[in-house]
Amino acid sequence: MECRHAHQVWSPCNVVSEQPGARWELAFNDQIVRFQHDGSGTIEMQIGEQSAWTKVQGRWTPDGSLCWNTVCARGNIPLD
């Protein structure tokens, strides 16, 4: 799996899931992007530990990437 933030180049990344479908992280380029989902359809994302949590929506791009605002992942994305 590969990830990128904004217009960075694609880099290998790992997904760590504390609670599948509720809390997960993407780790790439020496940064951690955290996600939390409360079951109501609202997903929040935090880039690094110092930034605020922001509401995001997942969207699929024409090239098959899954993106949340400016963070995208592609490849074998575990969705469960």
Query: Would you state the pLDDT for residue 19?
Result: 78
Whole-structure pTM value:
0.87
Confidence of residue 68 (pLDDT cuts 50, 70, 90): very high
Tokens of 45: 């994302």
> CA angle 75-21-15, nearest 5°?
40
Predicted confidence (pLDDT) at residue 32 exceeds the cutoff of 90: yes
CA distance 13 to 66: 14
